[in-house]
């Protein structure tokens, strides 16, 4: 039997949209859930499986050291799956919101690049990008959108091994990105949190920080999360069902 479709409380949408309309400084925090309706599987939901491995066992520096070919097979597979993927109505609604709230910033945990493809301009990629490769030797990073890659594992012109330009479990987030996103959290009037299980830190601390500094917290997620209890409005629906409704009224 399929799950019943969650209903979204219209009064809650209106209240949240009203807050968004009045705000200049908006921080949007997104996770894998915003891309789910574009066809990108989340890690923790169903359909996110790859062979018999768990992401936590492949997305680590130790896994790469042990078997760079296996790790690259997984990333190459994910890159190939992303090639035909398009931003959805939620990504597009955030582009409209940005034009209405010029100080808006998106801090995304996603590595798929879909906010940029949609046209959002101020995007901080907390966990890097799956389209970036970085040399473990000379450390040079560059974009490489070829999928599949012609050679696995790929190599740098200097001869060093290239790695995916993403942040792995156990690694630190880029300092500049972290600094800017927490500064935005401290200043935000509204924080809109879309499609994240709010279990991966430090990203999960952004809404907490914003709330501690007085921000109004809006959550969009079909399921309750650890953030739900502290949200001012928690919309129990999908990104595509809720975000255009929120920003349509806000723009």
Q: How far apart are CA 192 and CA 216, in angstroms?
A: 8
Cβ closest to ligand NAD, residue 112 vs residue 156: 112
Question: Which entry of 69, 91, 115, 127 is annotated as an active-site residue?
Answer: 127
Q: Is 186 in the site for ligand NAD (CB under 6 A)?
A: no
Task: Report, in Å, the least distance between residue 159 CB and ligand NAD.
Answer: 29
Closest CA to 78 of 29, 123, 111: 111
Q: Which string of b and e fits 105-139 if b means at least 16 CB within 10 Å?
A: bbbbbbbbbbbbebebeebbbbbbbbbbbbbeeee
Residues 6+ apart with CB under 8 A from 51: none
Cβ closest to ligand NAD, residue 101 vs residue 240: 240
Q: Is 234 in the site for ligand NAD (CB under 6 A)?
A: no
Per-residue mark of binding to ligand NAD, 89-128 (x: CB under 6 A) = --------------------xxxx--------------x-
Residues 203-222 that bind ligand NAD (CB under 6 A): 220-222
Q: Is 161 in the site for ligand NAD (CB under 6 A)?
A: no
Between helix 89-100 and helix 239-250 the angle, nearest 10°, is 20
Q: How far apart are CA 159 and CA 233, in angstroms?
A: 52
Per-residue mark of binding to ligand NAD, 22-61 (x: CB under 6 A) = ---------xxx-xxx--x-xxxx----------------
Whether omega before 91 lies within 30 degrees of 0, making that bond cis, reads no
Residues in contact with ligand NAD by CB under 6 A are 31-33, 35-37, 40, 42-45, 109-112, 127, 195-197, 200, 220-223, 225, 238-239
């Amino acid at each position: 039997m399929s799950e019943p479709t969650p209903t979204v409380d219209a009064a809650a949408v209106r209240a949240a949209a009203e807050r968004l309309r009045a705000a200049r400084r908006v921080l949007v925090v997104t996770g894998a859930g915003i891309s789910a309706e574009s066809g990108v599987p989340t890690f923790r939901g169903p359909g996110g499986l790859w062979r018999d491995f768990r992401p936590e066992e492949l997305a680590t520096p130790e896994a790469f050291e042990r078997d760079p070919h296996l790790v690259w097979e997984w990333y190459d597979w994910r890159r190939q799956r992303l090639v035909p993927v398009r931003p959805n109505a939620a990504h597009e609604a955030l582009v409209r919101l940005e034009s209405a709230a010029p100080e808006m910033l998106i801090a995304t945990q996603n590595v798929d690049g879909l906010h940029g493809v949609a046209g959002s301009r101020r995007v901080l990629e907390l966990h890097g990008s799956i389209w970036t490769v970085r040399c473990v030797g000379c450390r040079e990073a560059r974009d490489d959108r070829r999928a599949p890659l012609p050679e696995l594992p790929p190599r740098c012109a200097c001869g060093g091994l290239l790695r995916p330009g993403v942040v792995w479990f156990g690694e630190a987030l880029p300092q500049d990105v972290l600094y800017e996103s927490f500064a935005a959290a401290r200043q935000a009037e509204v924080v809109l949190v879309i499609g994240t299980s709010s279990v991966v830190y430090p990203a999960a601390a952004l809404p907490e920080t914003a709330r501690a500094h007085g921000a109004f917290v809006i959550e969009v997620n079909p399921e309750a999360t650890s953030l739900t209890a502290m949200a001012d409005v928690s919309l129990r629906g999908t990104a595509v069902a809720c975000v255009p409704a929120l920003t349509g009224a806000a723009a």
